[in-house]
Amino acid sequence: MKKKIVFGLVIFALMFFFGGVYILTTMETTIYDLHRLSQLHRTIAVRKDLVLSIEKNQNYIIARDTNPLTESLPDDNGLADTFKKCLACHQSSSSGETIARLQQQITRYLHLMHDIFTTPPRAAVSKPVVKEALRLGDEMIGHIEHIINATSGNFNRQEREILRQIDQRKEILFLLVTIGPFFAIGLAFILIRGLTRPVKSLLDATRRLKAGDLDHRIRGLQGEFGEVANSYNEMVTAS
């Protein structure tokens, strides 16, 4: 009986241990997946902001070309700041060559814009400079939009996969929460029944002996209770 009790306690301990480990691991994995999903979403948002910033500057260049009275570029640091945010998202990225190329293009683009908007008021802007700036801006917009489309497809696939995995973990946790207590109760019932049934048999035998029934024998008990039952049977037989 001692072995059964020890075995049952070991099962209880292992069940709670592995259940706790699984819950903690699931929480950490889910938090990591949601953080990764948030990072992907942020990357796409920053790239869209970069496209909008370039388009805005394209309009400024066109306005300066058509209106010589335009003296300065409103919010002329917006493009550089947005690109810095984009670089922050790619510090550990494998697309280093693409980012380096884009950085060179933006640096060249900013220099061209500086040349355009430092032209004295009422003076004509160099048409080749304007043409090159607009060409370079359109090329960057097309390139970044291509990256956004590819990233969006990857984002959607990863989002579906992450949400599917989260749903699976939720189902497993639900089963652990609902079935686990019933399993524990069933195991406790088996242990308690294994302890009370032999005690009940011994108690019933002593009552029969007290009532004068010397023909009753205790059978089916094992372990320590079996030894007690054998002693009882021997005692009754000797009487």
Neighbour-count burial for 178-201, b at 16+ CB within 10 Å, e otherwise: eeeeeeeeebeeebeeeeeebeeb
Q: Does 205 share its domain with 119?
A: no
Q: What is the pLDDT of residue 175?
A: 82
Closest to 205 in 3D by CA, of 177, 234, 181, 172: 234
Tell me which residue range forms the domain holding 170: 2-178
Model confidence band, residue 43 (pLDDT cutoffs 50, 70, 90): confident
Position 83 pLDDT exceeds 80: no
For residue 75, the model assigns a pLDDT of 47
Amino acid 135: pLDDT: 92
pTM: predicted TM-score of the whole model, two decimal places:
0.58
What gap in Å lies between CA 180 and CA 1, rounded to an integer?
25
Please state, in angstroms and rounded to a whole number, the distance separating the CA atoms of residues 33 and 162. 7
Q: What is the mean pLDDT of residues 81-85?
A: 70
- Report whether pLDDT(92) > 50: no
Residue 62 lies in a domain: yes
Q: How far apart are CA 167 and CA 68, in angstroms?
A: 60
Q: Is residue 183 part of a domain?
A: no
Task: Answer whether 8's CB lies under 8 Å from 230's CB.
Answer: no
65 pLDDT exceeds 60? yes
Do 73 and 8 lie in one domain? The reply is yes
Question: Which of 178, 206, 227 is where one domain is finished?
Answer: 178
Separation between Cα atoms, residue 203 and residue 187, nearest integer Å: 24
Output the domain CATH number for residue 161.
1.20.120
Q: What is the mean pLDDT of residues 182-200?
A: 76
